[in-house]
Structure 1
Amino acid sequence: MSDLHLIVEEAIAELRLDNPAKLNALTMPMLEALEAHCARLDRDETIHAVVLTAVGDRAFCAGADINAWSELPPAEFARHWVRDGHRIFDRLARLSKPTIAAINGHAFGGGLELSAACDIRVMAPAATLALPETGVGIIPGWSGTQRLARLLPEPVLKEMALFGRRLTADRALAVGYVAAVAEDPAAVAREIAERTLATSPRATEIAKYMIHGAVGEDRGAMIEALGGGMIAASEDKAEGVSAFREKRKPQFPGR
């Protein structure tokens, strides 16, 4: 059984990290559960928004469990641990629903990268953000030097990745990484999520695709998804499919 749970209540889904004894450190079963939950959420039209939370107040997520990767052979580490984790975080980032991370405690390494895969973030005042990888002889591997480069000013990211400096909640708010600082991030994140109950789910999804296309988050797929939606609603598409099934030459109306 994984330490990452999916709870759905009133059209709002919650993805909850639940291993506070290990500071919610990520294991492969947790990553696999995240990927499976994202696949389910993408296809559930009753869900309007997703909140990513964690149990406990010490850490949102301390990163990848060192016991899960430290003994892996180099090829295995690169081919599976890094690439699989990257793929799964990309899956979260490209979820069709809006996502909010409730950073209730420290978010280090993979935990920070996990929060970066959400659309917006709410952070507890005492929480900090860090990329401590170089202190244990590795580098960020789940988009810490890529997606975070779009979300943080370059000098700030270099402070964290090269010099190990932590980012406080106040500074994270000042540079725009978090949308709010709150004593109860999960409650505020849910309040934000509930605003989607009064908006068009389809319009929200398309707006997210358009923004992702602009900033380069899976730009190719976003452009083709938008184009695909337009053509799927056309009379030309309906005529083309009918002609194919009836084994005749299509007569496209151009609409």
Structure 2
Amino acid sequence: RDDAVRAVVITAEDSKAFCAGADILAWSELNAAEFSRHWVRDGHRIFDRLARLSKPTIAAIGAHAFGGGLEFAATADIRVMAPKATLALPEAAVGIVPGWSGTQRLIRLLGEPLVKEMALFGRRLSAERALAAGFVAEISEDPTASAFAIAEEVSTKSPRSVEVAKYMIHAAADEDRGAMIEALGAGMIVPSEDKTEGVAAFREKRKPNFSGK
């Protein structure tokens, strides 16, 4: 909600991985209810907030993004990837399934065949294939620098135009479609004279005189 923030870059502190995914030791002792009702759903709530952020977001994937790390990268609006970085959904190797939108949001972004290749067969996706699939915008030797360059460029655009365009695209892509459509509708109605008259009439306890403007 800070209007001074014009773009968000998601990157990693460690050069070994963008994100290696969820901590196996953290979830391995959870019972079924804790795992499904809390671990999975809490992860979705966090990732959904990132995906639906009104600011433009750029993920700088400087190293491997596995499991939850790949699902995390998928929340960004645009991704830049290092040449030797790879993407994977290795959950089946430890007896679980993707739980933070790997079989949902990633289907829209990568398509069913590639998600099956990773989730069912455990194959890693190279930067070149991710680029060809449109999942990453570019391959860069320095993804963080490239991501900040993209952030600086988008910061020269109208922030309101960028925000509304993102809402429109998300509505078309079924990313929280209901909220996006209602947000756009609210933005159209709030500046209207009818809204001003309706509120004034409510406060003054009288019948409103709407003009349709």
TM-score, normalising length: structure 1: 0.83
Residue 197 of structure 1, CA deviation: 2.1
CA–CA separation in structure 1 for the residues paired with 2:117 and 2:154 = 35
Separation in structure 2 between the aligned mates of residue 197 and residue 113 of structure 1, nearest angstrom: 26
**Per-residue deviation, residues 206-249 of structure 1 (Å, max 9, x unmatched):** 00000000010000000000001000111100111111111111
Q: Does 1:161 align with 2:137?
A: no
> In the alignment, is residue 215 of structure 1 matched against residue 173 of structure 2?
yes
Structure 2 CA distance for aligned equivalents of residues 57 and 126 of structure 1: 12
In 1, the alpha carbon distance for the partners of 2:21 and 2:208 equals: 55
**Where in structure 1 do 4 or more consecutive aligned residues deviate above 6 Å?**
none
User: What do you get for the CA RMSD once the two structures are aligned?
Assistant: 0.6
The reply on whether 1:57 has 2:57 as its aligned counterpart is no
Choose from 200, 204, 211 the match for 1:246.
204
Alignment of 1:23-102 (within 5 A): 43-102=1-60
TM-aligned CA deviation for residue 68 of structure 1: 1.3
- How far 1:157 sits from its partner (Å)? 1.0
Distance 2:132 2:155 in 1: 29
Look up the SS of the partner of 2:155 in the other structure.
Answer: helix
Identity of aligned residues (%): 73
Which of the numbers 138, 150, 153 marks the counterpart of 2:96?
138
For residues 44 and 134 of structure 1, what CA distance do their matches in structure 2 show? 40
1:185 and 2:136 equivalent? no
In 2: Cα distance, 1:225 partner to 1:123 partner: 32
Q: Distance in 2 between matches of 1:155 and 1:128?
A: 17
Given candidates 152, 177, 181, the residue that maps to 2:110 is 152
| 1:54 match: secondary structure | coil
Structure 1 match to 2:79: 121
Correspondence 1:203 to 2:161: yes
Q: Hey, what's the Cα distance between the residues in 2 that align with 1:233 and 1:134?
A: 52
1:106 to 60, 64, 68: 64
Gaps of 5+ in 1: 1-42
Partner of 2:99: helix, strand, or coil? coil
State the TM-score, normalized to the length of structure 2: 0.99
Task: Give 1:229's aligned amino acid.
Answer: G
SS at match of 1:107: strand
How far apart in 2 are the matches of 1:241 and 1:56?
53
